[in-house]
């Protein structure tokens, strides 16, 4: 297939989807695209492919290196899994968007220069909104519009950053900005950082995630949850590795969504908070910037796409069968959806980093990297956040959906294609998590894909307690201590009736997990941050509404600016302008 | 006398001879074929002219062998060769496109008149662009405007409001033309010549009230013609009620030619030694350009009529052109020229898509667009791709425009302008997105006023429309024609005006 970019195979193929007859033929076509893309990707050696010229600059469509290869690989896997999961969907807009948008994200990861990155950045933004609009109601329309405004704002900031960077350096190359001699506060680089920051949902730039993702369809939310933030992480890893500010930004990201996740009732929305928290881990790794940390970021992104996707798929199956994902309305579904329950628990175990599951392998790299570089408070925060993940994703999601009090709902098991997709994902979670037991760290299949694959052998040879070696007694015991104590606490509270199924008391066990004295503090932190947010948002949205009303009064169809004015009025304007220009000309 | 030597006059002579003959043809198919044929011949002549200019440099042609400054001179350099190419190119696409649309919207007995007027309008626009004589600009401007008023008024068969729209445009256009001719008169009084090159020579060293006043009248007169905010009030109604094909043609060409005339006068007749040029940039073009970008975009956002929305969007886009111009740099001028070209491509395609919808649904209200992707998918995608271009999405010409404009803004040190360009394209995103959502995700009306059959527009309309859509993408990827030529043209103009290169 020559030098055709794998991204273009998926993207252009996605555009053709509406032309294929609906049904099996179309589904198989859709499934063939990521497979072809993968074949093409792995036929490339490391290097640059598909050079083209724009504005007299030579640009690179496809750059295959360690970083882009691991992200592309997992993107292609995720695309294929999504196609299987969405086998029942018969909506051409949604089907096309669920290939075009991931294809664009893939193109962004493979982009060899800033302009190519920007082009795919924008295509991803625009194509993804159709997945939100696919719910086809007023709510999703407005959520989509707000989402689009954020995404395009990110795109134009990126564009401004690129223009400034080009003017300052004369180059459109996309490499590490810090190594190119730019300070992070330089406007050019700062614009680009904020653009990346919006897409990766930095704190305070994160709200579009919770606002828009849960408005999408059963299958759309899963697709959305994977690509945008991971494209941003890959871009950050390429451009800003070693930028210390990111360590702290990432640390805040891991911690603050926990409070919101705890008090949230919509389980898909809980997962979007968990998404923020997970991306925070990756950004800490980017900020640390050592080969170990970057390997950790890439490995964590790889595993996260699988287990976070698995959780979203399980919740999607619940939504598909019951029509709701509200924690207070679910419960007891394990009786009729046993397979979904099992897969959801596997996803939960992976995200909580139980030994034998994929999170155990990859999270250790990041936390180890933070400890190694002496970021004590960051390390503490990551542990805190890891425990928080166990609470809101590991326990809350499966418990409230499938166990807890019996809601009386007896839905059918998820349809076969959903089960197949979930089974493959669950298998990968376990395979990645336990392969090392048989192969040893040097033969680990995931490690072979890492951007700094050679670092593995080097570190392992030097240090018998290297984070790359997952199955050491201290690592397993530490992890099990955290998890088992949490589980014990949960069980005790459950038995003694201190853990009623109502949501408000879930604050209780966060106290236990974080060992914060006094059960009030976590509740207070959640309540206070929510109240502050609501107050700020109230002021802001009140202003915005007043402003919009004012704009509408002036510019709306009946407003002064849009009216059909009588001819004398037009002539008057002409006279006024003539007077003005004469005045200016004479004065000048 | 060989044909190549007479090349510069062909784009004018060919259609102006063809136009009266149109009137003699029987109503129906014949006038359309005749006009289309001549639009292509004219386009071919313009291509040849463009090639020659781009290879050999500017051409000066003496009409009837009368030497300038006494005789009329046609002067073609890269800047106006590009505009000539644009006007004739749009005509070559819109004329074939017009047939079915005109069949629906105009009385068949009027078709010879209609196509005759269309040819005359095109000739006028080409004449304004090609001529090197200031008074001749006025003459051709009137030729194009008068036929334009008649063309807009022909929309009255569908909507009587076309008559008042055309009348308002007539009055305002005449005021504009009068101001322009007063300005020319003042310059003539001061210099005794009407030839632009000669004017430029004789104006050197003269700086008096008469010249300032002349400039003010020319600027405001042309400002009216190009719908500079707040002189744009004639435009929304004229574009909304004109026959669809006329809107597609005029929106893509008429205002662009007026922008070109302002550029020509500022850079080739006046120069930067005149203090009022700088003042006009800073105090007139820059603020009015910015105001237009926002006010007109916001008005477009709330429109219930898609054609009217696009008309307001045109006013906003003219704001971009004036903004680029007001930077008074090579980059800024390049951005303006690029956007003149690119905006014609996107607005042409968008108005053509609206024409297709009018043909099938009989309305250009946004309600007629509901569920359009199920009824007319090919048209829907033409609209969406051109709409993305209007927003400035990469791989389309709109992105190229934005790129040059942002470069120019930063280069000129106008940081805030960079932000405002970005902010106003977000508004464009909102109004295009609104229509896109209605077309793709709403259910089509099954009954009532907006119900329509599931039937795509005829090929005679789809092919020309997609030619423009393809141009939106082609020139969005290959920028050497637009960007490269515009840079060369801007450098030449800047050298004439004596500004910093």
Chain B residues within 8 A of A129 when measuring between CB atoms: 433
A227 and B CB contact within 8 Å:
no
Q: Which of B215, B233, B295 sits opposite A585 (nearest CB)?
A: B215
Q: Which of B394, B440, B483 sits opposite A122 (nearest CB)?
A: B394
Minimal CA separation from A433 to chain B, in Å: 41
Chain A residues within 8 A of B171 when measuring between CB atoms: 567, 570-571
pLDDT greater at residue A498 or residue A483: A483
A204 and B CB contact within 8 Å:
no
CB A452 within 8 A of CB A417: no
Rounded to whole angstroms, what are the CA distances from B131 to B8, B60, B74, B143, B295?
A: 10, 10, 4, 14, 34
Contact A159 B422 (CB under 8 A): yes
Contact A586 B437 (CB under 8 A): no
Torsion sign, CA atoms A195, A196, A198, A203 = negative
Any residues with CB less than 8 A from the CB of B260 and at least 6 apart, and which? Answer: B79, B80, B83, B128, B129, B340
Chain B residues within 8 A of A130 when measuring between CB atoms: 440
The C-alpha atoms of residue A507 and residue A512 are separated, in whole angstroms, by: 9
Sorting pLDDT into bands at 50, 70 and 90, what band is A509?
A: very low
Chain A residues within 8 A of B420 when measuring between CB atoms: none
Q: Using alpha carbons, select from A362, A366, A397 the residue that is nearest to residue A381.
A: A366
Q: Using alpha carbons, select from A145, A109, A347, A63 the residue that is nearest to residue A227.
A: A109
CB A362 within 8 A of CB A299: yes
Q: A297-347, pLDDT tens digit by residue?
A: 999 999 999 999 999 999 999 999 888 888 778 888 888 889 999 999 999
Which value, in Å, is the radius of gyration of the alpha carbons in chain B? 21
Contact B302 A164 (CB under 8 A): no
CB B239 within 8 A of CB B227: no
How many other CB atoms are there within 10 angstroms of residue A575's CB atom? 12
CA triplet B463, B467, B473: central angle to 5 degrees? 140
B209 and A CB contact within 8 Å:
yes
pLDDT value, residue A529 = 63
Q: Using alpha carbons, select from B310, B275, B313 the residue that is nearest to residue B294.
A: B313
Q: Which of B219, B304, B425 sits opposite A156 (nearest CB)?
A: B425
Chain A residues within 8 A of B168 when measuring between CB atoms: 567, 570
CB B166 within 8 A of CB B238: yes
CB A89 within 8 A of CB A135: no
End-to-end CA distance of chain B: 39
Chain A residues within 8 A of B477 when measuring between CB atoms: 54
Identity of the highest mean pLDDT range in A252-261, A264-273, A505-514, B127-136: B127-136
Share of chain A above pLDDT 70, in %: 90
Q: What value does the mean pLDDT take over residues A468-485? A: 81
How many other CB atoms are there within 10 angstroms of residue A139's CB atom? 9
Chain B residues within 8 A of A195 when measuring between CB atoms: none
Range 249-278 of B in CB contact (< 8 A) with A:
275-276, 278
Q: How many CB pairs under 8 A join A and B?
A: 148
The SS3 call for residue B119 is: helix
pLDDT value, residue A549 = 76
Range 425-454 of B in CB contact (< 8 A) with A:
425-426, 429-430, 433, 437, 440-441
How many other CB atoms are there within 10 angstroms of residue A193's CB atom? 25
Sorting pLDDT into bands at 50, 70 and 90, what band is A520?
A: low
Query: Which of the residues in chain B have pLDDT under 70?
Result: 1-3, 499-501
The DSSP symbol for A201 reads: T
Chain B residues within 8 A of A587 when measuring between CB atoms: 279
Helices and strands counted in chain A (H then E): 23, 2
pLDDT value, residue A489 = 66
> Picking from A139-148, A502-511, B128-137, B262-271, which range would have the lowest pLDDT averaged per residue?
A502-511
How many other CB atoms are there within 10 angstroms of residue A376's CB atom? 9
Contact A148 B433 (CB under 8 A): yes
Sorting pLDDT into bands at 50, 70 and 90, what band is A518?
A: very low
The C-alpha atoms of residue B38 and residue B41 are separated, in whole angstroms, by: 5
Range 23-62 of B in CB contact (< 8 A) with A:
none
Minimal CA separation from A209 to chain B, in Å: 20
The C-alpha atoms of residue B363 and residue A120 are separated, in whole angstroms, by: 36
A574 and B CB contact within 8 Å:
yes
The C-alpha atoms of residue B228 and residue B310 are separated, in whole angstroms, by: 16
Any residues with CB less than 8 A from the CB of B386 and at least 6 apart, and which? Answer: B346, B349, B350, B353, B468, B469, B472
For testing the chain A interface, which of B437, B477, B480 should be mutated: the one with the most A CBs within 10 Å?
B437
Minimal CA separation from B447 to chain A, in Å: 21
pTM of the model: 0.76
Minimal CA separation from B403 to chain A, in Å: 8
Q: pLDDT averaged over chain A?
A: 84
B338 and A CB contact within 8 Å:
no
B392 φ/ψ sector (left φ>0, alpha ψ -120 to 50, else beta): left
Give domain limits for chain B.
1-171+239-265, 285-501
Chain A residues within 8 A of B426 when measuring between CB atoms: 149, 152-153, 156
pLDDT value, residue A149 = 81
The DSSP symbol for A242 reads: T
Q: A389-411, pLDDT tens digit by residue?
A: 887 778 888 888 888 778 777 88
The C-alpha atoms of residue B54 and residue B79 are separated, in whole angstroms, by: 10
Q: Which of B302, B373, B429 sits opposite A148 (nearest CB)?
A: B429
For testing the chain B interface, which of A131, A565, A578, A583 should be mutated: the one with the most B CBs within 10 Å?
A578
B299 and A CB contact within 8 Å:
yes
The SS3 call for residue A326 is: strand
For testing the chain B interface, which of A585, A586, A587, A588 should be mutated: the one with the most B CBs within 10 Å?
A585
pLDDT greater at residue B313 or residue A445: B313
Minimal CA separation from B277 to chain A, in Å: 8
pLDDT value, residue A497 = 62
Q: B183-214, pLDDT tens digit by residue?
A: 999 999 988 888 888 888 888 888 788 888 99
Q: What value does the mean pLDDT take over residues A231-250? A: 92
B229 and A CB contact within 8 Å:
no
Share of chain B above pLDDT 70, in %: 99
The C-alpha atoms of residue A489 and residue A496 are separated, in whole angstroms, by: 11
CB B403 within 8 A of CB A163: yes
ipTM exceeding cut-off 0.85 for this assembly: no
Q: What value does the mean pLDDT take over residues A225-239? A: 93
Contact A123 B393 (CB under 8 A): yes
> Picking from A120-124, A533-537, B368-372, B407-411, which range would have the lowest pLDDT averaged per residue?
A533-537
pLDDT value, residue A514 = 35
pLDDT value, residue A498 = 57
Q: Which of B175, B275, B477 sits opposite A571 (nearest CB)?
A: B175
Chain B residues within 8 A of A148 when measuring between CB atoms: 429, 433
B66 and A CB contact within 8 Å:
no
The C-alpha atoms of residue A344 and residue A348 are separated, in whole angstroms, by: 6
């Amino acid at each position: 297939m020559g030098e055709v970019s794998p991204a273009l195979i998926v993207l252009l193929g996605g555009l053709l989807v509406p032309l294929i007859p609906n049904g099996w033929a179309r589904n198989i076509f859709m499934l063939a695209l990521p497979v072809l893309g993968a074949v093409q990707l792995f036929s490339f050696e490391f290097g640059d492919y598909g050079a083209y010229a724009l504005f007299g600059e030579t640009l690179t469509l496809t750059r295959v290196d360690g970083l882009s290869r691991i992200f592309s690989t997992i993107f292609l896997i995720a695309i294929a899994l999504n196609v299987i999961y969405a086998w029942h969907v018969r909506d051409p807009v949604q089907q096309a968007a669920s290939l075009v948008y991931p294809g664009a994200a893939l193109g962004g990861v493979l982009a060899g220069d800033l302009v190519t990155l920007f082009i795919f950045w924008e295509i991803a933004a625009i194509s993804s909104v159709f997945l939100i609009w696919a719910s086809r109601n007023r709510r999703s329309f407005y959520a989509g519009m707000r989402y689009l405004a954020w995404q395009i704002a990110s795109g134009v900031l990126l564009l401004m950053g690129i223009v400034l960077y080009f003017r300052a350096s004369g180059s459109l190359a996309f490499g590490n900005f810090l190594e190119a001699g730019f300070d992070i506060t330089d406007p050019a680089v700062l614009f680009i950082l904020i653009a990346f920051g919006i897409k990766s949902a930095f704190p305070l730039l994160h709200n579009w995630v919770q606002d828009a993702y849960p408005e999408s369809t059963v299958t759309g939310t899963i697709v959305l949850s994977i690509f945008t933030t991971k494209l941003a992480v890959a871009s950050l890893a390429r451009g800003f590795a070693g930028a210390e500010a990111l360590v702290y930004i990432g640390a805040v990201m891991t911690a603050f969504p926990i409070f919101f996740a705890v008090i949230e009732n919509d389980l898909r929305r809980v997962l979007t908070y968990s998404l923020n928290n997970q991306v925070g881990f990756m950004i800490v790794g980017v900020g640390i910037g050592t080969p170990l940390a970057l390997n950790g970021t890439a490995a964590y992104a790889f595993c996260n796409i699988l287990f976070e996707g698995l959780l979203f798929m399980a919740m999607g199956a619940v939504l598909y069968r019951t029509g709701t994902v509200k924690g207070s309305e679910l419960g007891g579904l394990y009786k009729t959806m046993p397979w979904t329950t099992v897969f959801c628990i596997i996803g939960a175990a992976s995200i909580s980093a139980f030994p034998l599951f994929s999170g155990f392998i990859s999270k250790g790299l990041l936390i180890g990297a933070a400890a190694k570089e002496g970021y004590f408070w960051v390390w503490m925060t990551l542990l805190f956040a890891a425990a928080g993940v166990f609470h809101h994703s590991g326990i809350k999601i499966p418990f409230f959906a499938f166990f807890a009090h019996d809601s009386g709902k007896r839905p059918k098991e998820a349809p076969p294609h959903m089960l197949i997709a979930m089974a493959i994902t669950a298998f990968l979670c376990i395979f990645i998590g336990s392969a090392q037991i048989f192969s040893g760290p040097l033969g680990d299949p995931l490690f072979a894909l890492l951007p700094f694959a050679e670092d593995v052998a080097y570190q392992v040879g030097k240090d018998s307690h290297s984070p790359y070696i997952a199955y050491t007694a201290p690592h397993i015991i530490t992890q099990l201590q955290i998890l088992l104590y949490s589980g014990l606490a949960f069980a005790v509270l459950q038995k003694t009736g201190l853990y009623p199924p109502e949501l408000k008391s879930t604050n209780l066990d966060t106290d236990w997990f974080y060992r914060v004295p006094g059960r009030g503090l976590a509740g207070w932190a959640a309540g206070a941050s929510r109240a502050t947010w609501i107050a700020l948002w109230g002021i802001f949205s009140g202003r915005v509404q007043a402003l919009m009303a004012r704009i509408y009064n002036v510019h709306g169809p009946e407003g002064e600016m849009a009216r059909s004015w009588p001819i004398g009025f037009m002539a008057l304007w002409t006279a006024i302008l003539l007077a003005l220009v004469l005045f200016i000309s004479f004065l000048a | 006398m060989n044909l190549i030597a007479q090349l510069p006059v062909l784009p004018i002579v060919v259609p102006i001879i063809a136009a009266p003959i149109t009137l003699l043809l029987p109503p129906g198919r014949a006038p359309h074929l005749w006009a289309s044929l001549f639009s292509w011949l004219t386009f071919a002549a313009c291509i040849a002219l463009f090639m020659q200019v781009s290879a050999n440099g500017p051409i000066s042609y003496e009409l009837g062998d009368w030497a300038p400054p006494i005789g009329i001179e046609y002067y073609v350099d890269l800047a106006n060769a590009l505009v000539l190419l644009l006007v004739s190119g749009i005509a070559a696409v819109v004329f074939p496109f017009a047939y079915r649309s005109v069949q629906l919207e105009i009385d068949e007995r009027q078709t010879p008149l209609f196509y005759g007027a269309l040819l005359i309008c095109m000739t006028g626009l080409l004449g304004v662009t090609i001529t090197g004589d200031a008074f001749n600009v006025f003459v051709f401007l009137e030729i194009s405007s008068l036929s334009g008023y008649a063309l807009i008024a022909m929309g009255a068969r569908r909507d009587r409001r076309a008559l008042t729209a055309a009348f308002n445009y007539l009055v305002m256009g005449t005021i504009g033309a009068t101001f322009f001719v007063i300005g020319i008169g003042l310059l003539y009084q001061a210099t005794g010549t009407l030839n632009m090159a000669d004017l430029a020579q004789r104006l050197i060293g003269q700086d008096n009230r008469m010249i300032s006043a002349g400039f003010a009248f020319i600027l405001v007169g042309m400002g009216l013609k190009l719908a500079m905010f707040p002189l744009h009030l004639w435009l929304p109604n004229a574009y909304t009620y004109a026959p669809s094909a006329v809107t597609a043609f005029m929106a893509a060409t008429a205002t662009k030619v007026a922008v070109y005339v302002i550029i020509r006068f500022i850079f080739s007749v006046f120069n930067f030694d005149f203090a009022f040029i700088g003042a006009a940039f800073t105090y007139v073009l820059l603020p009015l350009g910015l105001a237009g970008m926002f006010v007109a975009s916001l008005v477009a956002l709330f429109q219930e009529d898609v054609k009217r929305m696009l008309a307001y969007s045109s006013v906003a886009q003219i704001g971009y052109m004036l903004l680029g111009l007001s930077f008074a740099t090579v980059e800024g001028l390049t951005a303006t020229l690029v956007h003149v070209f690119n905006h014609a491509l996107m607005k042409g395609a968008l108005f053509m898509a609206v024409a297709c919808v009018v043909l099938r649904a009989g309305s250009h209200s946004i309600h007629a667009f509901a569920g359009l992707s199920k009824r007319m998918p090919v048209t829907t995608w033409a609209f969406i791709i051109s709409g993305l271009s209007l927003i400035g999405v990469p791989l389309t010409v709109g992105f190229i425009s934005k790129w040059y404009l942002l470069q120019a803004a930063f280069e000129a040190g106008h940081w805030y302008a960079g932000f405002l360009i970005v902010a106003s394209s977000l508004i464009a995103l909102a109004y295009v997105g609104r229509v896109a959502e209605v077309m793709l995700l709403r259910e089509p009306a099954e009954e009532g006023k907006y119900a329509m059959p599931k039937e795509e527009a005829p090929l005679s309309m789809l092919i020309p429309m997609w030619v423009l859509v393809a141009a939106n993408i082609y020139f969005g990827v290959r920028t050497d024609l637009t960007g490269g030529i515009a840079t060369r043209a801007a450098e030449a103009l800047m050298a004439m005006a004596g500004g910093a290169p």
